[in-house]
Structure 1
Amino acid sequence: MPRRPLALLLTSVALTSGLAACSTRVPVEPAPDAGDPACATLVLSLPDTLAGLPRLLTTSQASAAWGSADHAIVLRCGVTPPGPTTDQCVTADDGTYSVDWVAVPGATDVGGYADWTFTTYGRSPAVEVFVPAAVTDTHSTAFLMELGRAISTVPPTRHCV
C-alpha cells in the first residue's frame, strides 16, 4: 500500500515539472549589445519581484520581465546609450543608489495612461525598461529605484543636467 501514494506523488511532481517547462515566455527582442559581459552581471543582480510583480521568463539574453505575459514590464540590457537629448531626464535615487533615466512617454491609451520607455543615461551598456500603460494604470514608476542596485553594476560616466 505505501507504494501507491508514492507513485501518485511522483506522477504529480512529473506533471508539475512538465507544466513549468511549458510556461509562457515573454517575447523580447535582444538588444544590439546584449552579449556585453556587463549585461550578464546586471541581469543576475535583478530582483525577483518588481513593484510586487513576479519575475517572468523571457526569450532573449540580457533581458528580464515582471508582471503578466500580456502586460509585462520588460528590461533589456545592451541598448544603444542615448546621447544628449531634450527628452525628460529623471534621477531615481533611493539614498543608496542613484540612476539617471531618459523618460519617453508613448501613446496614451483609452484609460488615459501611457506606455513609458526609460533608458539609463550615462551608462554603457545602457538599459531600457518598457512599462506598458496597463502597469502605469495601477503602479507608480517609482519601482525604478528597485532596479538601482542592479543598474549600478554598470558605473556612470555622465549624469543628467
Structure 2
Amino acid sequence: MSRPRIALLALTVAGASVLTGCSSTVSMVPGDDANNPLCAELMVRLPDTLSGEDRRWTDAQSTASWGTPSRILFTCGGDEPGPTTLRCEEVDGVDWVIDESEAPHFRVTTYGRSPAVELYLDTSTDGGTGVSSRTVLDVISPIVRQFIEPGRTCVPRTEATPVPEPVEP
C-alpha cells in the first residue's frame, strides 16, 4: 500500500475515533426473546431519526435508543402483556398498551404480538422539547405490523367484561 493511502487510512480511522468518542453507548437490557428473527427484521428497518431525535448505539441485542439524553428506548423480544386494565390504543393496525404511571414518561407495549415490542418515551419538555408519542407510534407501528402478526387484539373498555371483586368470607 502506498504511503499516501496509508496516511489517508490513518486519518480516516482517527477521524472516526474522534466522532464516535462524542456519543456514548446507551446501556440497555435485552428482552428474553431478543434473538427472535422477527426482532432482527425490525431492527434493520428502524429509522436513524425519530421524532426529531438521532439514533444512538446500544449495548444489548434488539434494542435501540434515540436522543441525547435518551428520549426514546426501544426493546424487541419482551414478554407479551396479558389482559390489563391499562389503556390500549390502536395505531396503524397495531394495539399498544399504554402505561401512564410515570407520566410524562410513558411505557407502551404491543398487545397480542409475539415477540412483544416495548417503547419507553420521555415526553417531558425539561431542557427542550419532549418527543411526540403519536409521532413515534406512527413510525414504529407500520414496521411492527409488517413483521409481527397479531394473535389477539385489545377489547375497547366499553365492551370489556368487568372482573368481579373478590368476596370476603
- Say yes or no: does 1:132 pair with 2:122: yes
Partner of 1:87: 86
Partner SS state of residue 71, structure 1: coil
Deviation at 1:19, TM superposition (A): 2.4
Contact 2:94-2:144 within 8 A present in 1 as well: yes
Of 89, 94, 101, the residue aligned with 1:99 is 94
- Please state if 1:75 is matched with 2:77: no
- CA distance in 2 between partners of 1:135 and 1:124 (Å): 33
Give the conservation status (yes or no) of the 8 Å contact 1:55–1:65: yes
CA contact (8 A) 1:79 1:127 kept: yes
* % same residue: 37
Aligned partners of 1:6 and 1:106: how far apart in 2? Answer: 57
**TM-score, structure 2 normalization:** 0.77
Q: Number of aligned pairs?
A: 149
Give the counterpart of 1:122 among 112, 115, 127: 112
Partners in 1 of 2:125 and 2:60 — Cα distance?
A: 22
Structure with the higher strand share, 1 or 2: 1
For 1:91 and 1:129, the matched residues in 2 are separated by 15
Note if contact 1:71-1:135 (Cα within 8 Å) is conserved in structure 2.
Answer: no
Question: Judging changes above 3 Å, is the alpha-carbon distance between structure 1 residues 11 and 134 closer, same or farther for their aligned structure 2 residues?
Answer: farther
Whether 1:145 and 2:138 are equivalent positions in the alignment is yes
Q: How far apart are 1:106 and its partner, in Å?
A: 3.4
Question: Offset of 1:32 from its aligned partner?
Answer: 1.0
Ranges in structure 2 where 5+ consecutive residues have no aligned partner: 156-169
Contact 2:28–2:63 (Cα < 8 Å) also in 1: yes
Which structure would you say has the larger Rg? Answer: 2
Q: Identify which of structures 1 and 2 has the higher relative contact order when contacts are C-alpha pairs closer than 8 Å and 6+ apart.
A: 1
CA distance in 2, matches of 1:82, 1:56: 27
Letter in 2 for 1:99: V
Q: TM-score normalised to the size of structure 1?
A: 0.80
